[in-house]
Amino acid sequence: MNFSLTEEQIMIRQAARDFAQNELLPGVIERDEAQKFPSEEVKKMGELGFLGMMVDPKYGGSGLDTISYVLVMEELSKIDASASVVVSVNNSLVCWGLEHYASAAQKEKFLIPLASGKSIGAFCLSEPEAGSDATSQKTTALDKGDHYIVNGTKNWITNGNSAEVYLVIAQTDISKGHKGINALIMTKDMPGFEIGPKENKLGIRGSDTHSLIFNDVKVPKENRIGEDGFGFKFAMKTLAGGRIGIAAQALGIAAGAYELAKKYSKERKAFGTEIMNHQAIAFKLADMHTQIEAARHLVYKAAWDKDQGNDYDLSGAMAKLYASQVAMDTAIEAVQIHGGNGFVKDYHVERYMRDAKITQIYEGTSEIQKIVISRSILKN
Ligand code: CAA
């Protein structure tokens, strides 16, 4: 068993750390306040190769492994989870799905710009009445021979307005249940494709979350990913990897909140000494450190499974379930350690508390992760 990173992985982690400190940190409070999408920062992350990290260089990607990807996600999320979710969605939910299941022509047209950071993508599964219950798709894609006509609404779509390419899950034949669902590549210049209002969110406020409305959108059949009826499996397979990215995001939020709390505990004095000298605070930090390390092991193991070609449904779900709980617990304790200052935006930790919550909700709630985990461990 080898727990060490390669020189290349250490270098990539350092590049992400430097980028987060130098480029993401300066405007992070203002972007959160104003709900401003980090357009310039995303562009720079594209130039650094962070938007198509695992994609083969022949399709414009960086050709790196999943471990490198989670290291980058962790470092970016230590500073700005609104920026890191763009990286997670583009890499895991959009580029990965296209690289593995799209046709050669689709890769040429859509994957290359997405992986090389020239455009970003969105993954559109959730609906007003189909969140956790993902098979209950109401968006329809009626088969009209050489094209589909798409109608319906998608909700809470990350990169909803900033994306150029949208992977849309829709029902073609309701009588076939999940086997009647397709995944279609759509672009917002298609007539009838409407971007709904931006959501006013608790956390990751810099990210760009919208509903999408489709009114008789004509989508050529050449934009369908895989065989007819492959859409639900496509979504499930894609989300299994996406959960590793969100687990890494949760890990980064936890680690970022912990680092701030540790630093503060060495500076802030109460009762004549730095608060780290009070066991009430030191023990909190001990718990945080231990839980973060445990979460890190789960996240890296899931990434390693993916790189080894092992099944990662179970390890990814466990990593997301645990890391997101650690993110929430750590961020709450980081606010507590900061006391009154923790309640004030300038000290950052309140943002970590708000940002942490979404990691227990998107790409499968914690309850969904427990379904995936329990089914996996009980099937044999
Ligand atoms: N890989 C491949 N196939 C899979 C799979 C996987 N990981 N998981 C399920 N499937 C297949 C099953 O094998 C089954 O196919 P067969 O009938 O051919 O065997 C089919 O999919 C249906 O599976 P289930 O019967 O298990 O379906 P279910 O209705 O019980 O639901 C579920 C399963 C795991 C609960 C699923 O609905 C689910 O994951 N729900 C959560 C959805 C989710 O994560 N949404 C997040 C939205 S995206 C987002 O947040 C993105 C963002 O912008 C940040």
372 lines ligand 1 (CB under 6 A): yes
**Residue 43 within any structural domain of the chain:** yes
Mean pLDDT along residues 22-30: 98
For residues 216 and 251, state if they share a domain: no
Give the largest CA-CA distance in the chain. 78
Protein residue whose Cα sits closest to atom 51 of ligand 1: 363
CATH number at residue 50: 1.10.540.10
Helix (H, G, I), strand (E, B) or coil at 277: helix
Q: Which residues contact 2 (CB under 8 A, 6 or more apart)?
A: none
Query: Ligand 1 centre and the CA of 374: distance in Å?
Result: 14
**Residue 350 within any structural domain of the chain:** yes
For residues 248 and 344, state if they share a domain: yes
How many other CB atoms are there within 10 angstroms of residue 135's CB atom? 15
CATH number at residue 263: 1.20.140.10
Q: Which of 84, 198, 233 to mutate to test the pocket of ligand 1 (most atoms within 8 A of CB)?
A: 233
pLDDT band for position 1 (50/70/90)?
confident
* Token pair belonging to 102: 């799209």
Distance (Å, rounded) from C-alpha 196 to C-alpha 156? 10
- The reported pLDDT for the residue numbered 155 is 97
Protein residue whose Cα sits closest to atom 26 of ligand 1: 372
> Closest Cα to residue 90, out of 128, 127, 46?
46
Sheet strands (E) in the chain: 121-124, 140-143, 147-158, 165-171, 181-187, 193-198, 209-220, 269-270, 273-274
Mean pLDDT along residues 290-318: 98
For residues 206 and 327, state if they share a domain: no
Q: What is the DSSP code string of 286-317? A: HHHHHHHHHHHHHHHHHHHHHHHT---HHHHH
125 lines ligand 1 (CB under 6 A): yes
In the residue annotation, 227 being an active-site residue is answered as no
- The reported pLDDT for the residue numbered 131 is 87
Query: Ligand 1 centre and the CA of 225: distance in Å?
Result: 17
For residues 241 and 374, state if they share a domain: yes
236 lines ligand 1 (CB under 6 A): yes
Q: What is the length of the chain? A: 380
- The reported pLDDT for the residue numbered 222 is 98
Distance (Å, rounded) from C-alpha 360 to C-alpha 243? 11
For residues 222 and 245, state if they share a domain: no
Distance (Å, rounded) from C-alpha 293 to C-alpha 288? 9
Distance (Å, rounded) from C-alpha 155 to C-alpha 177? 21
Handedness of CA 168, 172, 174, 179 (dihedral sign): negative
Query: Ligand 1 centre and the CA of 364: distance in Å?
Result: 9
For the chain, the straight-line distance linking the first and the last C-alpha, in angstroms and rounded, comes to 26
233 lines ligand 1 (CB under 6 A): yes
245 lines ligand 1 (CB under 6 A): no
- The reported pLDDT for the residue numbered 223 is 98
115 lines ligand 1 (CB under 6 A): no
Protein residue whose Cα sits closest to atom 3 of ligand 1: 233
Mean pLDDT along residues 291-315: 98
Query: Ligand 1 centre and the CA of 372: distance in Å?
Result: 9
In the predicted model, is pLDDT for residue 324 greater than 80?
A: yes
Query: Ligand 1 centre and the CA of 102: distance in Å?
Result: 19
pLDDT band for position 318 (50/70/90)?
very high
Counting from 1 in the atom list of ligand 1, the atom nearest the Cα of 372 is: 34
For residues 84 and 136, state if they share a domain: no
9 lines ligand 1 (CB under 6 A): no
Distance (Å, rounded) from C-alpha 160 to C-alpha 164? 9
Asked if 233 and 357 touch (Cβ cutoff 8 Å), the reply is no
Report which secondary-structure segment, H or E, holds 201.
none
Question: What are the pLDDT digits (tens) for 43-82?
Answer: 999 999 999 999 999 999 999 999 999 999 999 999 999 9
* Token pair belonging to 172: 């073609």
For residues 372 and 289, state if they share a domain: yes
Number of domains in the chain: 3
Domain that holds residue 224: 122-232
* Token pair belonging to 265: 């505990």
For residues 127 and 116, state if they share a domain: no
Q: Which of 232, 265, 297 finishes a domain?
A: 232
Q: From the DSSP assignment, how many helices (H) and strands (E) are in the chain? A: 13, 9
Burial state string for 268-280 with b = 16 or more CB within 10 A and e = fewer than 16:
eeeeeeebbeeee
CATH number at residue 126: 2.40.110.10
Mean pLDDT along residues 138-163: 97
Asked if 331 and 352 touch (Cβ cutoff 8 Å), the reply is yes
* Token pair belonging to 127: 């609906």
For residues 262 and 310, state if they share a domain: yes
Mean pLDDT along residues 134-143: 94
How many other CB atoms are there within 10 angstroms of residue 222's CB atom? 12
pLDDT band for position 118 (50/70/90)?
very high
Asked if 345 and 33 touch (Cβ cutoff 8 Å), the reply is yes
Q: Which of 82, 103, 120 finishes a domain?
A: 120
**Residue 2 within any structural domain of the chain:** no
For residues 252 and 208, state if they share a domain: no
Of 75, 127, 350, 363, the active-site residue reads: 363
**Residue 79 within any structural domain of the chain:** yes
- The reported pLDDT for the residue numbered 380 is 77
**Residue 1 within any structural domain of the chain:** no
Question: What are the pLDDT digits (tens) for 244-288?
Answer: 999 999 999 999 999 999 999 999 999 999 999 999 999 999 999
For residues 241 and 227, state if they share a domain: no
Query: Ligand 1 centre and the CA of 178: distance in Å?
Result: 9
Counting from 1 in the atom list of ligand 1, the atom nearest the Cα of 157 is: 53
Asked if 323 and 362 touch (Cβ cutoff 8 Å), the reply is no
232 lines ligand 1 (CB under 6 A): yes
Question: What are the pLDDT digits (tens) for 102-116?
Answer: 999 999 999 999 999
- The reported pLDDT for the residue numbered 311 is 97
* Token pair belonging to 345: 């935006």
Asked if 257 and 263 touch (Cβ cutoff 8 Å), the reply is no
In the predicted model, is pLDDT for residue 175 greater than 80?
A: yes
Average pLDDT, the chain: 97
**Residue 166 within any structural domain of the chain:** yes
Query: Ligand 1 centre and the CA of 134: distance in Å?
Result: 7
- The reported pLDDT for the residue numbered 53 is 98
Mean pLDDT along residues 225-242: 98
In the predicted model, is pLDDT for residue 229 greater than 80?
A: yes
- The reported pLDDT for the residue numbered 13 is 98
Q: Which residues contact 40 (CB under 8 A, 6 or more apart)?
A: none
Distance (Å, rounded) from C-alpha 149 to C-alpha 153? 13
204: left (phi > 0), else alpha (psi -120 to 50), else beta? Answer: left
Q: Which of 120, 140, 170 finishes a domain?
A: 120
For residues 201 and 255, state if they share a domain: no
